[in-house]
A and B are shown apart, each in its own frame.
Chain A
Amino acid sequence: DVKVTQSSRYLVKRTGEKVFLECVQDMDHENMFWYRQDPGLGLRLIYFSYDVKMKEKGDIPEGYSVSREKKERFSLILESASTNQTSMYLCASSLSWTAYEQYFGPGTRLTVT
């Protein structure tokens, strides 16, 4: 059973703070993804990674960066949090580039005040 875990379910940060969101998967998946989920906007891809130390920008990378030092862990970093980054953040992983199913974590609801 694939398990994708995220470090926090709820997080409250102040404007300008540096924020780290952590994601860990336990199934040796190659690909990992970060999305934000907003009502009426659906899921939007922020960044993804297909290998350790490799990353690709998604559709909305501005204001975010990522880190993948180990295969099982993918971190999303908000260098200077802003109120428009208040959102639900979802992490996902998939086995390989030909395995389309993505497995999602429970999400982190981030509020920036």
Chain B
Amino acid sequence: AQRVTQPEKLLSVFKGAPVELKCNYSYSGSPELFWYVQYSRQRLQLLLRHISRESIKGFTADLNKGETSFHLKKPFAQEEDSAMYYCALSPQGGSEKLVFGKGTKLTVNP
């Protein structure tokens, strides 16, 4: 069964500090991994996907197949990064479905 685990419900850091949001997955194949973000009073939107290997708003995420992890990182957090972050998995070969983790609420304090 496919499963996405985000071990931290809440994460609080100070502005300028590094931030890492953890994501671990359980899947026997090679999935596609994503991070979605929901800012206050805004709709859920895609932040980044591992296949594109890009940095969005200073965030990066590396897929570690050995550790089955896809942690989201940013070297210097900003107050506007405060949001709800969801890690998601799509099974190998593409699928209409995404499996979401339970989310981590990030608060960046001034």
Contacts and interface: CB of A to CB of B under 8 A. Distances in A.
B70 to A, nearest CB: 14
Interface stretch (A17-25, A62-70, A76-84, A98-106): A98-106
Majority secondary structure, A binding face? strand
Contacts of A92: 44
Interface in A22-62: 31, 33, 35, 40-45, 48, 50, 56, 58
Nearest to A98: B94
Interface residues of A, number: 27
A109 B35 CA distance: 23
Interface of A: 4, 31, 33, 35, 40-45, 48, 50, 56, 58, 90, 92, 94, 97-98, 100-107
Contacts of A102: 46, 98
Contact of B44 (A41, A97, A104): A104
Given A48-B96, A58-B97, A100-B49, A40 B43 contact: no
8 nearest CB pairs, A to B = A42-B102, A104-B44, A43-B100, A98-B94, A31-B96, A104-B43, A42-B103, A101-B46
Given A50-B96, A98-B94, A100-B49, A105 B102 contact: no
Interface string B80-102: 00000010001000111110111
- A4, A43, A56, A94 — which one has the most chain B CB atoms within 10 A of its CB? A43
A91 B76 CA distance: 33
B109 interface: no
A100 B49 CA distance: 9
Contacts of B9: 40
Nearest to B34: A100
Given A40-B9, A104-B43, A104-B45, A48 B102 contact: no
